[in-house]
Amino acid sequence: MTTAAPAVTARFWRTRRSAAIAGIIFGVLLLLAMTMLRIALSEDSLLTLRADADRRTLIGLSLHLVPFAGIAFLWFIGVVRDQLGEVEDRLFSTVFLGSGLLFLAMLFTGAVTAASLVEMLASPAINTDVFAYGNSTTQTLISVYAMRMAAVFTLSVGTVGLRTSALPRWVCYIGYLVALVLMVAAGEHKWTQLLFPAWVLLVSLVILFTAPIRNVGPPSGPPE
């Protein structure tokens, strides 16, 4: 007897709304945090940051949003992986989970380092070498490594969406384009980093406002 292909039913997608809400919260919070950070760091010289308390306050507010965005992203990963676990192979499930967790770990590490630098700016005496090292480490961690993991996450979600028809094809193709931009340009062009939370927000809205897919996968063959 041939084994019937697993099907995604309306009941199977009972928690899709949870994934959508978590993704929307993540997308909105990280977009706000990254936008505030980019505005505050439009002039990121040490003297400017030390003299401008408003910029430091804006950086602090953006960093306070990161933990909540990370919690929502972790919930988004868990719910989506739970729903797709029965219809997707281990390769893409592992890449999806691994890249998402690595992105989250590096995002949190970068946020902690940035918070330490903000504290240094408020102190009367500051070691410029230590500040430069911390600033360079944070930028590399977020702009290079975290964004590359975000690109891999986007690729894996897009591929899973295509293979299972869980997402519209145009959303998956946009994901491929976003992943390419993040992989190539996120380190040099900081504003392109906003594409990742914006794409997660798009995916979440699509999940929230589209009907559950009734069947996914090739039809099962006749009994042998």
C-alpha distances (whole Å) from 84 to each of 122, 210, 216 are 47, 17, 11
> How do residues 87-125 score in pLDDT, each as one tens digit?
556 777 788 889 999 999 999 999 999 888 888 877 777
Packing angle, helices 90-122 and 53-84, rounded to 10: 170
* Residue 173: pLDDT over 70: yes
**8 falls within a domain:** no
pLDDT band at 220 (very low <50, low <70, confident <90, very high): very low
Q: Please report, rounded to a whole number, the percentage of residues in the chain having pLDDT higher than 90.
A: 34
Instruction: Compute CA distances 151 → 23, 56, 103, 187, whole Å.
Output: 16, 29, 9, 12
Which domain covers residue 203, as residue numbers?
A: 16-209
Band (221; pLDDT cuts 50, 70, 90)? very low
Q: Does any domain span residue 155?
A: yes
Record the tokens describing residue 155, joined without a space.
């690729």
Domain membership of residue 182 (yes or no) is: yes
pLDDT computed for residue 218 by the predictor: 43
**Is 71 a domain residue?**
yes
Q: Is residue 2 part of a domain?
A: no
Q: What secondary structure, in 3-state letters, does 121-151 show?
A: HHCCCCCHHHHHHHHHHHHHHHHHHHHHHHH
Q: Is residue 37 part of a domain?
A: yes
Within a domain: residue 222? no
| pLDDT score at 20 | 85
Asked whether residue 214 is domain-assigned, the answer is: no
Q: What is the model's pTM? A: 0.81
| Domains contained in the chain, number | 1
**Matching residue, tokens 């308390």:** 53
